[in-house]
Chain A
Amino acid sequence: DVKVTQSSRYLVKRTGEKVFLECVQDMDHENMFWYRQDPGLGLRLIYFSYDVKMKEKGDIPEGYSVSREKKERFSLILESASTNQTSMYLCASSLIAGEQYFGPGTRLTVT
Chain B
Amino acid sequence: GQQLNQSPQSMFIQEGEDVSMNCTSSSIFNTWLWYKQDPGEGPVLLIALYKAGELTSNGRLTAQFGITRKDSFLNISASIPSDVGIYFCAGQGDYGQNFVFGPGTRLSVLP
Contact = CB atoms under 8 A, between A and B. Distances in A.
Contact of B43 (A40, A48, A59, A90): A90
Contact of B48 (A42, A58, A59, A99): A99
A42 B101 contact: yes
Given A42-B101, A43-B101, A97-B92, A104 B41 contact: yes
B44 A102 contact: yes
Interface residues of A, number: 22
A94 to B, nearest CB: 8
B25 to A, nearest CB: 14
Contacts of B43: 43, 90, 102
A77 interface: no
Q: Which of B31, B43, B48: most chain A Cβ within 10 A?
A: B43
A6 to B, nearest CB: 8
| Interface size class of chain B, counting residues whose CB lies under 8 Å from the partner chain | 20 to 34
Given A42-B101, A42-B103, A97 B40 contact: no
A40 B101 CA distance: 13
A97 B95 CA distance: 6
A105 B42 CA distance: 5
A96 B33 CA distance: 15
Contacts of B31: 99
Contact of B40 (A4, A48, A105): A105
10 contacts: A33-B98, A41-B103, A42-B103, A90-B43, A96-B96, A100-B33, A102-B42, A102-B43, A104-B42, A105-B41
Interface of B: 1, 31, 33, 35, 40-45, 48, 88, 90, 92, 95-99, 101-104
Interface of A: 4, 33, 40-43, 45, 48, 58-59, 90, 92, 96-97, 99-105, 107
Given A97-B96, A101-B45, 17 more contacts: A41-B103, A42-B88, A42-B104, A43-B43, A43-B101, A45-B98, A59-B1, A97-B97, A99-B31, A99-B45, A100-B33, A100-B99, A102-B43, A103-B42, A105-B41, A105-B42, A107-B40
